[in-house]
Every structure is written in structure tokens, then in C-alpha cells.
Structure 1
Amino acid sequence: MMAVVAAILFGLALIFRLADFSLEIFTASLLTTAGLLFAALHLAGVGSAVRRGGGGGGRSWRGRRPWRGRRYSRR
């Protein structure tokens, strides 16, 4: 989500810079700085989904399962 916001802000900053357009508050440099902030938040993991309950999909094993790869059945 943060990466999408950063991309939109960078796009607006590019349009403002190419059109030589600025408002009193919103300038191309402000939008670029805000885009960098949201890109940094995205890389830090802010706004990502948090999995709760021991993992996703009901899978509780970590690493290799002991009975995998054996030719005989598990008892």
C-alpha cells in the first residue's frame, strides 16, 4: 500500500515538474520528499499484513518434515 502511495506521489511530482506547475503548498520537491518517505515506510514493512495464529493457511511446520522423502509409510 505504501509503495502505491509513493508511486502516485512520484508521478504527481513528475507532472508538476514537467508542467512547471506548483501550488502554494504542493510543490514538486514536497511531493518527491513525501514519495521518498512512503517508499522508506514500505521498505521498513509499515502497512504490511500481519499474520497471526502461528502462520498462514493452518501450516504449523517449520523446516523439513521428518517423514518427507521416506519410501515407507509413517507409523
Structure 2
Amino acid sequence: MLAYIAAAVFGFALLLDLFDSDLGAPDLFNFETLTLIGLLCLALYLAGVGRGPGGGGGGRWYRGRRPGRG
């Protein structure tokens, strides 16, 4: 989930940079701030915070009979 948030933040930062806009708040919505927010989300995602790939379920990855048991 954090990776999706980071991608959205990076996309928003790219649009603001391409249109050369700060939405009237130059200290809040500047390119560097949004880039740092995106990098923070990616770092948290890679550190295992939140629900990453394979997170949450754990345990069995197969359904039904156990493979190789005849």
C-alpha cells in the first residue's frame, strides 16, 4: 500500500513540476517536499512497514491437499 502511495506522490510531484505550479503554497507543495514524502513511503515499504507483498496472510500458500503426499 505504501508503494502505491509513493507512486501517487511521485506522479503528483511530476505533474506539478511539468506544469510549473505550486498550487499557491510554495512551501507546502514544492518538488523537493513531495519527492521526500515519496522516498519516505518507499523506504517504509521496503523496510516492511505496512502490508507489503505476501504480508498479512503468512502460513500456507497452497489450498487443498498438500503437494507430494500421494
One of 27, 37, 40 as aligned partner of 2:40: 37
Which TM-score applies when normalising by structure 2? 0.69
Extract structure 1 runs of 4+ deviating beyond 2 A.
49-52, 56-59
Distance 2:62 2:42 in 1: 32
Larger CA Rg, structure 1 vs 2: 1
Which TM-score applies when normalising by structure 1? 0.65
Identical residues among aligned pairs (%): 42
Using the TM superposition, give the Cα deviation of residue 56 of structure 1 relative to its aligned residue in structure 2, in angstroms.
3.2
Distance 1:19 1:58 in 2: 48
Distance 1:6 1:58 in 2: 31
1:34-68 CA distances to partner (integer Å, 9 max, x unpaired)? 0000001111111023346xx23699xxxxxxxx5
Say what the alpha-carbon RMSD is for the aligned residues: 2.6
Stretches of structure 2 lacking an aligned partner (at least 5 in a row)? none
One of 14, 27, 30 as aligned partner of 1:27: 30
The alignment covers a number of residue pairs equal to: 61
Which structure has the higher relative contact order (CA within 8 Å, separation 6+)? 2
